[in-house]
Structures are given as structure tokens and as C-alpha cells.
Structure 1
Amino acid sequence: MISFPNAKINIGLNVVEKRPDGYHNLETIFYPVKLADALEFVEANNTALSISGIQVDGDPENNLIIKAYRLLRRDFQLPELHFHLHKVVPFGAGLGGGSSDAAFALKMLNKHFNLKLNDQTLERYAAGLGADCPFFIRNKPTYAHGIGDQFEPIELDLSEYSIVILKPAFSVSTVEAYRNITPERPDFDLRKIASLPVEEWRRVIKNDFETSVFPKYPQIRELKNQLYDLGALYAAMSGSGSAVFGIFRHLPTDLANSLPKGIFIYR
């Protein structure tokens, strides 16, 4: 069985307060995009994960795909499986690639083995793997709050636009991104985003992590500025970076030659 776990972007990201447990409450819009990995599994003598495409750091045994499989195997009689992941979505980019792989693994196993789990139950399993994993179960535009684990569906359709994602050759640590954040509540309510033309987003929608990441990684700020120079209606860093995205009504004709070498381009 094969599926294509897609990435997401964060449209707006407000860090609103620090919690007593040390985590932060935030508000953001998760929006699914077409950039996707490929994930498949077959029955095997031993459960394992092989990976092609982008090189992934860490032991495959600790990959979220294997953790998702083991989570379901505690409650269901699943056979030994060999998973193969062709990695396209870059990690350490704020695009949710690992979380998407795990959520799609849950959905694939549920469907293939007829476990009859509804979306709400799958979301509970996914929540045990990561705060944003449950988003990829329904995989629709969502307003997220809390620590990014509480969801409300929103009506937002960007299908008439083109989304370009740029990823420099380095990643940004989420812990590092939080280090210099000063929580504050925004003036604009992200739940009203659908009522605001994309051309006006730049004025009121921001990613708080840019204030802590850009001073240390000015290359990311420059990529955002270049997207605006190329005609983006709105551009921002996704999550805690290092990827940035631009929303275009019309794609620039000479995008690749307009950017520094070593930048990965997805559209």
C-alpha cells in the first residue's frame, strides 16, 4: 500500500503566552500543501524502515513511522511490516514532514487492516506522536491553538494561487527559535483570515518566530524579502523555519535564476 504524506505551512504564528509547565500557547493556521513524501509498506519477516531521497538523521527505529506502527500494534494484531519512505519534504523546515509521515502511516494501517477507527480516534493516536500530528489525519485548513494541539476547522481556499516554498541548506532548531520569544497577544484574530484578501495579509498576519530567527539567520529574512520582490502577495517563514513560502497570483517566470544557489525550491 502506498500514500503520499504532504507538508503543511503555517499562515501566521502567534506565541501568546508561556504556560506554567514551560510550554507556550500559540495560535496558527495549518494549511496543507502539495509537496509530499511517498510512503509504502509490505508484509515482511521483521518490521523495519528504509529511506531514500533526502537523507534523514537519526536511527530509523526511532522514526515516527515506526512509532506509529507500534502504537497501533499495542491494541491490534498487526503483522511484521517493512516500510519504505521516499523523503521529499525537508526536515527541520517547519513543514511538518515527520508528523505527516506518522499520521499517514496511521491512516494507511487503519485502512489496509480494516481497523475501523474513525478520524477522532486516529487523532487521539496521532496526539501521542506529536502536537501537530493530528492535523494530518483530516488534512484540511485548520486553526490551531493551545500548544498547537487544539484544532478548529476554518474555511480557507488558496487553490487559485500558487505557493512557492524555499528551503536553505540548513535547519533551525525549534528550541532555539523559542529562546528569544516574548509572548504577546496579536491584534488580528487568525480565525477571521478567510474574510481578509490575501493582498492584505502582509499588514496584519505575522510569524512571531521571525523576530528570534532572522537576527541569527539573516539568509532566511533575505529569502522572504526576495519572494516579495518576485511578486508574492504574502510571504513568511513556516513554523520555526528554516523554510519560507510565498503566495503568488502568478508565478515568476525565472524563479530559479532569481535566487541564490543552494536554495531548494518547491512549488
Structure 2
Amino acid sequence: MAWPSPAKLNLFLYITGQLANGYHELQTLFQFIDFGDTLTFAANNSGNIHIEPAISGVALEDNLIWKAAQALKQEAFNQGYPEAAQLGAHIHLTKVLPMGGGLGGGSSNAATTLIALNAIWNLNLPMDTLAELGLKLGADVPVFVRGQAAFAEGVGEKLTPATPEEKWYLVIKPETNIATVDIFSHQNLTRNTEKRDLHTLLQLPYGNDCQKIVTLLYPEVAKQLSWLLQYAPSRLTGTGSCLFAEFDTQQAAEIVLEKFNDHTKLNSVFGFIAKGVNISPLHKTLADYKQADNNSI
């Protein structure tokens, strides 16, 4: 069966401080969308993790899917399952999410790998353990593992379940790739936004402290954001180049997507419509897998 690897949006993102180690403290609201990559897994006893197709410019050992599978095997071994060394899998990735867009594609791929192989290999490690493994792979991985829209604090590891309104979004990816380090290291990045509780933040207009720097450094992002703002509340997600406009209905989003396609018909700008969801499609698939497994017993 196919396992979804959904994208996420940062509905808001505020930088509230910087730690001595250089990491930034933040407050952000994660919500999943019903659009993303897909992974399929064929388990075997080879002890090897094979991934296809290879991602251009990314060595196998640097692939978060491979890292997640290896971390899961090592954790099972550490918990007294010596046969874990022989666990293997052939993994196929159908990639539709743009890299470097701020949609969390790599982190989501890692989380889907942890969730799916934990089930397929019958390891039955608890969700808390999978989230801990995920945090070692990346700050955004735990929210994908837990599968619930969440308010994140600290460096992104402190998660509080949340239920923001599930709106429709038009997401676009300008022809620009952005390195997170360039944004977080910029001298003019706001790093002292006041910390506020979730209830207060939900009542205020949403914003993204990274947006000012991204639009300053990347004119194409600024151009597309200016266009979107004509039609709906719009902003940057994460520190990537993807922008999203929010709508109350799918029809309203589709009308603007049609205008957007006319606006960019001479360019290959990536755009799609998706529904915001507070429960990850990955966890719905996990429930279906467990149900099918129970029925086969």
C-alpha cells in the first residue's frame, strides 16, 4: 500500500530569541495539507535499505529516508531485538513536493518512513520513541510523526496539539531555492518577537518573521506574494520560498488558481490547491493498515 508523506504549512512563525548555540527560539503553528509525496515499502531480510529513485545531488547516507530507516533499526536493536540487523526494505519515493520550499518534504519523508517501517517490521515501538528518533533527524520531524496539528515552541521540539480552522490553500513555489541558513543568519532577521500564549496568537492576524528577509533577498518571491495579496490573506511558510493564500472554500481557491495560471503562463511556477487538515493523512493510513492487519489474523 502507498503511505502518504504530506506537506505542512507554518500558519504563523515568530522568532522569539536566539540561544547561545546559535539555534533560534520560535513559536509556530503547524498544520498539514492533503497534498504531498508518496512512499511504498517492500520489506525484506537483506539488512539493506534501498531507495529509488535516487535524489540528484543527495548521497544515500544523507537521505533522510535512509537515515530514518537506519535509526529505527538501531533503536530496535538497542531495545533487545538482535534480528533488527537483518531488517531491510526496498523503498520507492514518488516526489511531488518541491525541495527547499518550506513545506517540510524531507522531514515528512523521514516521519513516514519511521511510522510505516515500525508497522511493517512489526517493531511496535511507541509513538514517543519514534518522535524522539525523529527529533534527532530534524526539528520538524516530530510533528509529522505525531500527526496532529500543533503549536511548537523552543526550537520546534515543544509541541502542543492544536485545532486551527481547516481552510483551503493555494500554494505556489516561485522559481527560487532558499537556504534556511541564509535566512536565520541574516543580521536583520527579527529575533525578539514577544512570546505569547496560543490563545492570544490565534486571535491575532498571522505573520511570519522570516518573510521580510526572504522577500528582501529574493525578488521573485516578493513579486508572487504581492500578486497573491490582491486576492486573499497570503504569506510565506517556514523559511522556504513557498507562499500560500487562504480561502474559505475550494471554489474560491480554484478561481484564483486559474488567474494565477494565466498570470504565470510563460513561467514554470509550481502551484496547487490543498485542504488544511489537523490530522495527518499518514495517521489515517496507519489506522487502515492496522485494521487490515487485524482482519487478516
Aligned partner of 1:108 in structure 2 is: 116
Task: Give yes or no for contact 1:165–1:245 (8 Å, CA) kept in 2.
Answer: yes
Bigger Rg, structure 1 or 2? 2
Q: CA deviation at 1:57?
A: 3.2
Aligned partner of 1:265 in structure 2 is: 271
Aligned partner of 2:261 in structure 1 is: 256
Opposite residue 64 of structure 1, the aligned amino acid is L
Secondary structure (helix, strand or coil) at the match of 1:144 reads strand
TM-score, normalising length: structure 2: 0.80
Secondary structure (helix, strand or coil) at the match of 1:155 reads coil
Unaligned ranges ≥5, structure 2: 77-83, 274-297
Opposite residue 228 of structure 1, the aligned amino acid is L
* Superposition map of 1:190-209 within 5 A: 190-194=198-202, 196=203, 204-209=205-210
Aligned partner of 1:6 in structure 2 is: 6
1:129/1:146 Cα in 2 relative to 1: closer, same or farther (>3 Å)? same
| 1:30-85 residue CA offsets vs partner (Å, 9 max, x unmatched) | 11011210101213544211127xx5431133201110111111133152211111
1:14/1:172 Cα in 2 relative to 1: closer, same or farther (>3 Å)? same
How far apart in 2 are the matches of 1:213 and 1:80? 41
Aligned partner of 1:29 in structure 2 is: 29
Unaligned ranges ≥5, structure 1: none
1:177 counterpart = 2:179? no
Q: CA deviation at 1:190?
A: 4.4
Which of the two has greater helix per residue? Answer: 2
* Equivalent residue in structure 1 for 2:134, among 126, 135, 141: 126
Q: CA deviation at 1:134?
A: 0.4
How far apart in 2 are the matches of 1:157 and 1:120? 26
Task: Give yes or no for contact 2:16–2:195 (8 Å, CA) kept in 1.
Answer: no
* Superposition map of 1:1-267 within 5 A: 1-44=1-44, 45=46, 46-51=48-53, 56-76=56-76, 77=84, 79-158=87-166, 161-180=167-186, 181-186=189-194, 189-194=197-202, 196=203, 204-229=205-230, 231-232=231-232, 234-249=233-248, 250-253=252-255, 254=258, 255-259=260-264, 261-267=267-273
| 1:3-46 residue CA offsets vs partner (Å, 9 max, x unmatched) | 01000011111111111111110111011011210101213544
Secondary structure (helix, strand or coil) at the match of 1:251 reads helix
Q: CA deviation at 1:239?
A: 0.5
How far apart in 2 are the matches of 1:155 and 1:43? 35
Aligned residues: 254
Q: CA deviation at 1:252?
A: 4.5
Q: CA deviation at 1:228?
A: 1.9
How far apart in 2 are the matches of 1:179 and 1:90? 23
RMSD: 1.9
Aligned partner of 2:294 in structure 1 is: none
| 1:197-239 residue CA offsets vs partner (Å, 9 max, x unmatched) | xxxx6xx32111112111111211221221121x22x211010
TM-score, normalising length: structure 1: 0.88
Opposite residue 244 of structure 2, the aligned amino acid is F
